[in-house]
Structure 1
Amino acid sequence: MTRRIVVALLALTVVLVAAAAVPLGLSITQREHLAFRDKAQAATRVIAASAEEYLSDRAPADAMNTDLSNAEKAGDCAAVYDANGRLVAATQCQAAQVPEAHELAAETLTGREPEPPETDGRLLAAEPVGTFRQPDGAVVLARSATPLDTRIAATWAWIGLVAVAGIAASALVSVRLARWVNRPLTTLDAAAHKLGEGQLGERATVSGGPPEVRRLAATFNTMAARTEALIHGHQAVIADVSHQLRTPLAALRLRLDLLATATPESEPELLASAQEELARLSRLVDGLLAVARAEQAVPKPVPVRAGEVAADRVAAWEPVARERGIHLVSHCPDAHPAALGKGDLEQVLDNLLANALEAVPDGGTVTIDSTSVSGALRVRVADDGPGMTPEARAVAFHRFGNPKARGSGLGLAIVHRLITANGGTIALEDTPGGGLTVVLDLPRWHGRRTP
């Protein structure tokens, strides 16, 4: 990836530098040529002006000779011709020695303005003496193009140097940029590889790089943490399930071993004990399945009348309570419906009533009541049993959290998962006078009320 980024940025830089440097160099070269020709033409006009005084006005040739001398000192070669094309005056390095000079002078004397040619490293410039249509003579000047070529070469050298420096700077920046982008991605890739190999505690430590890569690393770390917690949770569940199933299975195997060697008189008692262990094992498996279903369920809220559901569950559990002389009471007035998954409140109340009836001694009381609180419907299931210690309440919502529980230890875990999945809350409090109260805050239904 680093190589691709560097190559792409370098290619882009070369294209941009070429697109900017080449037109700039050509433009500067053209301006230098024009300026060089204009200066040569201006020097030729100066000599043509003094030559006009000599050829047209019959003035002395001193001014013309002075201008020719100045031109020679400047490194130019100049020649003055009369109207017949005869050489009148010239510098020591005569421009007439250049083959094209005589032709240029003859063309100028015909009244035309020729294009100054450049030959043998020299630029020729011609200027008529007098008017263009009827010139009294012509001046031809030859100027060396070496200074022009030197300036142009220097200009192209500076442009090339700047271009190379720009490309080098671009290469340095592109390498640093590629490493800045690629380093956190390499770290993230290594962390993902280790996580895939089973190192669940691996995290991507990314402190630099683009914000998008840092956000990706944070998302990866969150995913890795959740994956680790999920796998560890499953391992803990398997360990808990294995531990919880070991006891009833061992007891059942013991009962069956005794049954195999028992006398006919003790067979009914041993068979009853084995059936009791089977029932216990069945309840434990059913509880585990209920927890699994509760954790995987995504409830779709529907309006639920808590009073109707409470009255229905009280009526269902009434025979069990009557058998032990327990008073089972419901005080749930008709209130605003709660928003819960279909059948969730029934399952919650069944688990709470089963726990309460098992904990309450004969002749005790279990009460269900409901009130409206701010933004929620509060349902309370209270009993006057032995209650729970603070330590037991702290782990009551965990699977098998209370080792002293009489049942499977899964009822409150199921209730907690169902309530929280529906957006509600659950809390355990002491019942005034002794016992345990389960407080459920259920979200209210805000949709259209059903008839």
Structure 2
Amino acid sequence: MTRRLLLSYLSLAALVLVCLEIPLGFVYSRAERERVVNAARTEAESVAAYTALSLATGRAARDLPTRVAHCARRIGGKVVIVDASGAPLAASHPLTARASRALASRPGIQAALHGTASVDVRTSTIGGVEYLSVAAPVGEGGRPQGAVWLTVPTRTVHERVHQVWLLLAVGGLGVLTAVAVAGFAFARWAARPIRQLERATHALGDGGRFAPVPVTKGPPEVRGLAAAFNHTAARFAHLLASQRAFAGEASHQLKTPLAALRLRLENLEPHVSARARGSLDAALTETDRLARMVEGLLAMARLEERAATPAPVDIGEICAERHRSWAPMFARRDVSLVLFAGSVGPVFAVPGAVEQILDNLLSNALRASPADSTVTIELRLHTPARRALRDSRPCRVDLHVTDEGPGMTAEQRARAFDRFWRAPGAPKGGTGLGLALVQRLAHASGGEASLHAAATGGLDAVISLPSAAPPQDADAPAAPHARPCERPALPA
């Protein structure tokens, strides 16, 4: 907002300056030209009067050269005096014979020798230099005694006009600078309530405590916006707090009755006949499923309650540790658990997120995998192209958990991340919260979660997380037959 206000102030000031300075510059330029022309006319008339007096007293040969030289120095131009036939009487500069003969043919001199009452002002080019020429008749009456031809270089006029435009430009820049300084201070003052709203919005979005912004500063529109924000933010904070409290308290309150229910069902086992043993086992299974659902709700409530910041974690070490923990469970079900975890470096993730993601994916894969099948954990490092490396784009690490189970259709994979959704024909015991929690953890870590059809016919769950390793220089030579940042994958 500050930049836009400052830009609007500068644009308005520039428009006013353009509307004022351009006409002023043209007016002053025309006035300067007229001043030079009038000065040349006055000088020519003065020399003509002096020449007439010198001719009348017979001192023309003695006085005119001095007068002509003095006048030429004063105006910075040239002065020539001719008699009634056009022959030169005096000149401020040497004249060749050809130039002397050509004087009578000059339009201004011809007009002056014919007794034209008005002064003839023309712009001519002599020797490649533009001159402002003024011719005045010597003497009064219908038959002049001669003529005075005065030329002034137009360069002098142009220099003065350019100086005027330069002064106007410098003055305009000074005014724009002053407007920029004053406008920046005013824009900062005007945008201060907006910045407070922005900070409060970021704090609320990051999970911080809601702090009302003052509604007594700024224009009425900003004060109204601040009041509406306070009302909306307070209601949002109340609703969010109520939702967290309900989810957390309900989950905690359900854990104790569920534990007691399972204990009572187990105590009933010796007193249940063989015909009812199947119903008792089904009840225990549903109790376990309900307990896992409560744990999932607790995990999601904790994830929403703390807006944790992603930090670098060693995903390879985490995968190795979870592989060691889950391998015995897979072995009891005659399912092989294989790990391909190369040195991919650290990734950015919410603390504890990778462990929960792996536990949920491995639990789903174990339930879906038949005996004598294989579940694979694999880490792959994906580096952007060299062109993107120059833009300092980070690498990404993909965590693949692949099984050889029945898999899912494209429609089922699209719905798999919905809460409480379970695929038709899925094994008993699932809650429908595992993949939803996986997706929330991946998003909180700045990554993505997706499901793909595996080449073995099962499901390939892919978790893409940003790499925490520094990007390689795009100009550094890469190793032969390897992409930048890529390292070989080693089986565990």
Query: Structure 2 length normalisation: TM-score?
Result: 0.41
Larger Rg: 1
Query: Structure 1 length normalisation: TM-score?
Result: 0.44
